[in-house]
Each structure stands twice: as structure tokens, then as C-alpha cells.
Amino acid sequence: MHMKRSLSKFDDRKDVTLDEMVERLCAERQMRISRSVLGAWLRRWLDV
């Protein structure tokens, strides 16, 4: 999935916030994603 590849850019910062992730994804990947959708996807992906 493209999301995993996009999120790999955050490996250098383990303390990044959802807001920062959303902002960076929008700027670098021209992706439109809400904070809640990203949070839900991360919870599923991380099996939390």
C-alpha cells in the first residue's frame, strides 16, 4: 500500500504527531487524509 511507503518517511522521528503526519503527507504526497482516518489506519496497522 502507498500509505506504508509514505509513512516510512517518519521513521527518523518516533514522536511525530498525527497533525504533523497529516500536514507532511499533504505537502509531500499531495494526499488528502484526515487526522481521524490516519489514526484509525495506524491503529489497525500497528495492531493496537
Q: Is residue 46 part of a domain?
A: yes
Residue 24 burial class via C-beta count within 10 angstroms: exposed 0-12, middle 13-18, buried 19 and up: middle
Number of domains in the chain: 1
Chain-centre distance for alpha carbon 2: 11
Contact 30, 22 (CB under 8 A): no
pTM: 0.65
18-31 pLDDT, tens digit per residue, is 998 899 888 888 87
User: pLDDT-based confidence at 11, cuts 50/70/90?
Assistant: low
The three cell numbers of residue 26 are: 499533504
Which domain range does residue 43 map to?
19-48
Q: Are 33 and 25 in contact (CB under 8 A)?
A: yes
- Which pLDDT score, from 0 to 100, does residue 10 have? 67
